[in-house]
Amino acid sequence: MNRSWAEYKVGFGDPSGNYWLGNDLLSQLTANYRYKLRFDLQSSYSGNWYYAEYSTFRVLSEAYNYTLQVGGFSGNAKVYDVFSHYNGAKFSTIDRDNDQHSFRNCAAEIEGGFWYLACGWCCVNGARGTGYFYLAGLPGGSHLQLSQMWLKCK
């Protein structure tokens, strides 16, 4: 769902459903690399669950447009590791376009804020029903039914 930079900054939603912790808090929590990131992803084709875990996960402060630092993949959610390609990406929203396209806004097109380089491959925060809710290379089909992102203590 389309939300503003300010909403992604402070967080929104219900922790039992559609929820974003907030980029300021993500930046504070991950500053010392004490957490790893885990995605739990359900394929809309098969209903099967897959996971991707990253041993390195850090979100820089707003001064750096919440730049993503990610690496160290493990899990079964891949034909190839998609999310590590987003290392160094800046966070984009409908009203703050930081993706690599000069002629389009991926967050507006996909209807969800995220660390977009381009508008493809990893759209785990897009709106369902738009065709932009998927992870390329997911076994059993790339379109998603559900996605969850978790911070886990190291």
Mind listing the pLDDT tens digit for each residue in 108-126? 888 889 998 877 777 777 7
pLDDT over 70 at 131, yes or no: no
pLDDT over 90 at 80, yes or no: no
Lowest mean pLDDT among 57-71, 90-104, 110-124: 110-124
- Indicate the pLDDT class of residue 142, thresholds 50, 70 and 90: confident
Both tokens of residue 128? Answer: 């369902």
CA angle 10, 15, 106 (to 5 degrees): 55
Q: What is the pLDDT of residues 5-26, one digit of tens each?
A: 999 999 999 988 889 999 999 9
Q: What is the pLDDT of residues 21-49, one digit of tens each?
A: 999 999 999 999 999 999 998 888 889 99
* Percentage of the chain lying above the pLDDT 70 cut: 93
Domain ranges of the chain: 5-153
Comparison of pLDDT for 65 and 118, the residue scoring more = 65
pLDDT over 90 at 56, yes or no: yes
pTM assigned to the model:
0.90
**CATH entry, 5-153, from 3.90.215.10, 3.40.50.11690, 3.30.750.210, 2.40.160.20:** 3.90.215.10
Q: What is the mean pLDDT of the chain?
A: 88
